[in-house]
Chains A and B, each alone.
Chain A
Amino acid sequence: MFDILCPKNGTYEDVLKSENFLPYGSAVVDFFQQLSKNILQNSNYKKYPEIIALGFWLRKANLIKMQKDVFEKETTKDNIKLARGLVFHIAPSNVDTVFAYSLFVSLLMGNRNIVRVSSQSSLVLDLLITELNDILSLKEFKSLRNNLLIVRYEHNDDTTTEFSLRCDVRVIWGGDQTVNKIRSLPLNTSAHEIVFPDRFSYCAVKSKEFLSLNHPFELTDKFYKDVYTFDQNACSSPRMIFWIGSSEDNQKAQEKFWSCFNEVVESYSGILEQDHSLRKLNSTIITAVTTEGKVKIINGSTNRITRVQFDSLKDVRRDDHCGLGLFYEVCIKDLNELSSFFSSKDQTLSVYGFSNQEISDCLNKGCRSISRVVPIGKALEFDVVWDGYNLFDELTREVSIVS
């Protein structure tokens, strides 16, 4: 019915029978320490920035910071948080490290876990699983072995239903189609569900601030990583840029930005797939039609960068966007114009040149659905508060003690 990738000799029965840990239990924290050390000290991982990022996230300092800033923030002295039990994670296929973050946050909260990873194999996934297996085979981490089970199977409703009926939380990554499909399968009546559907993310640049930058390449480098690491298809990768300022500043900032960014993209990028060029052409032509021509299509020196500049915010249609290095743009005078723009499909806003006060002023004016604001360069960084969920809260149950 399914293949078990981790731990070696692991069984489904074991994970069903074993006991939860307490949140932030020492066994799990020690395990993360070891994993972090193995990742950061192994030079073979240097070419995989997403694995290195995971290694940093697992460091003890970060775990403690999250404990103070997020986990303990809203817990009163009398109430306690406990693991929910068995968590069934359905991981996305192509952002290889998501399965790990999902699993690790849940483990840290003391839960037992079944993770279905994509049926397509990937290098990063295989490396991580090998690493996990190696550490779990050490004697000191024996107690963890029964608390996680990483499985692989072709999409199969029977298997997914079996896990769904046994779990206490079902976590679905992977976009609208996957969420709709899995949601049609029954879930244990007392279970809780967390879903991550398709999202659209943005970048806002204060043009004047950008123009005063002496080293614009530092910023465009960071932007490159946000966008091209996952072909602009990670849900938090910016797909649209808001240029904010006077029309003169906006125009100048665009010119400067795209000239730098073009250089960055052309020097970093490898092969451009024919299919990707075609899909971008198709997407832009459809946008031209659906907006009745209220856009300007601009190509970079190659088809690696394709820009679609909208006449105004109200013409923007998110559905036609295909990722792959396609940049919607719109020039506006004031950040506050965005407060009525966002929709429930929207997630991350990467920013440059704004103070926290300016951002929260805009959000407080009624932004419906931005759930995350980060500086440019951090769009892909995993955060335990994701998509509006505090995952520590979602993966624990709070026991109230009334005296």
Chain B
Amino acid sequence: MSREKYNMSQYLKTIFDKKPYEIATNEKDDLLLREMNELHEFHSKNCKEYKSICRALGISEGEFNSLKEFPMLPVSIFKELDIKSIKDEDVVRILYSSGTTSMKKSKIYLDAMTSANQTKALTTIVNDFIGKNRIPMIIVDSRSTITNKNNFSARAAGIVGMLTFGKDYFYLLKDDDTLDITGLEVFLDKYGSQPIIIFGFTFMVWKYLYQELIKTKNSQVKINLKDKLNNAVLIHSGGWKKLLNEKVDNITFKNILKEELGIKKVHNFYGMVEQVGSVFMECEEGYFHTSNFSEVLIRNHLDWSVEENGKEGIIEVISVLPQSYPGNVLLTEDIGVIHGVDDCKCKRMGKYFTVKGRVEKAEVRGCSDTYELKEVQNYV
């Protein structure tokens, strides 16, 4: 099979040239459709697995007329199969999803261009929320999470990806996963009155930045956290499963961080290792937003038809970033609902939506005694 490198199209250039939330849907649909058709052709030529899937689905050559026609790949297939659209020697990085050792992990192959585009897109998106300047950063994790070369987890990749937005990094946890209270005091004494960025995984933020810190606050922390964190922006991601078990939803989460720690700006983002870069950031109104790089469709599981806005269904995510692997159109295992298009009060264009949770594993009758639990997909 002849392999060729993907050339950046004029459409992708336009997508990168604009601000991430400034293209209204009419124009964006057209741009994305053209770019997605280019990518479809590229993967069909260069990825034999993608070609097989298209053949099995009876997709004939030629272009698609709308985004909903592109074949959806279930995110879980990146756990089962090794799929890429580039030569082995062009692989610069492999991303793995997190998960325990017994679980199969997603394996995503990146070449230089896909990797660079991911970083560029992420930067554009996050800058829209925190500004262009690098600011002092607190990471709600330990340094060893990213220095452990033997186990470079999805969590580590997520942290490293966010480091570009900060400077003068402070890791809230020591290597034994206890709070570095002294370090925090020194950091906040120095930077506390200016804008700072805090990043961590949702459950880490809840457990350490809130629960553990509050526990030790009265006895050990001498400074006034509320004053010092007044200008902080918290960005977090990673899913709500653990928190929902404790009956903590997004609204509760934000209220508590505001009341207890004085953190007023909190942005969750929805993203996954299979589509790094084109993340969906939560705006000030509490909705995830599509950007220039991405689109979201809600699918009805009964026949995979597209649901109208306002109706719940399974989330399909579309990203123009993957070139080294055919991960542009993925059906997630999450349930969500689109609330509107181009008219969010936050003034950002694009669709805005919420994620309701994960598709529940259903019981299967049959002769097997043990129902093998399919692993839960983890976000970066």
Contacts and interface: CB of A to CB of B under 8 A. Distances in A.
Asked if chains A and B come from one complex, the reply is: yes
Contacts of B370: 93, 174-175, 177-178
Contacts of A299: 303-304
A177 B369 contact: yes
Given A274-B314, A287-B56, A296-B56, 17 more contacts: A92-B366, A92-B368, A98-B367, A174-B368, A175-B370, A196-B367, A231-B366, A232-B366, A233-B364, A273-B301, A277-B314, A278-B74, A281-B304, A289-B81, A291-B56, A292-B52, A303-B304
Contact of B53 (A173, A276, A288): A288
B77 interface: yes
A286 interface: yes
Interface string A246-290: 000000000000000000000000001111111101101111110
Contacts of B302: 272, 277, 302-303
Interface residues of B, number: 41
Nearest to A228: B365
7 contacts: A274-B362, A277-B314, A284-B56, A285-B53, A288-B56, A291-B52, A291-B56
Contacts of A90: 369
A278 B304 CA distance: 10
Nearest to A172: B369
A34 interface: no
A115 to B, nearest CB: 13
B369 A92 contact: yes
B360 A178 contact: no
Interface in B322-344: 331, 333, 335
Interface in A106-139: 118
A292 B80 CA distance: 15
Nearest to A197: B367
Given A92-B369, A94-B364, A292-B48, A302 B56 contact: no
A235 interface: yes
Nearest to B305: A302
B215 interface: no
Contacts of B57: 288, 297
Contacts, number: 147
B362 A233 contact: no
A301 interface: yes
Interface in B127-175: none
Interface residues of A, number: 51
B116 interface: no
Q: Describe B's contact surface by its main secondary structure.
A: loop
B244 interface: no
Contacts of B62: none
Contacts of A177: 368-370, 372
Given A94-B367, A94-B368, A285-B77, A275 B360 contact: yes
A278 B303 contact: no
Interface of A: 90, 92-95, 98, 118, 173-175, 177-178, 196, 198-199, 229-235, 272-279, 281-282, 284-289, 291-293, 295-297, 299, 301-303, 308, 323-324
A277 B299 CA distance: 11
A299 B81 CA distance: 23
B367 A235 contact: yes
Contacts of B335: 274
Contacts of A196: 367
Contacts of A292: 48, 52
Interface in B12-58: 48-49, 51-58
B76 interface: yes
B52 A175 contact: no
A289 B369 contact: no
B170 to A, nearest CB: 41
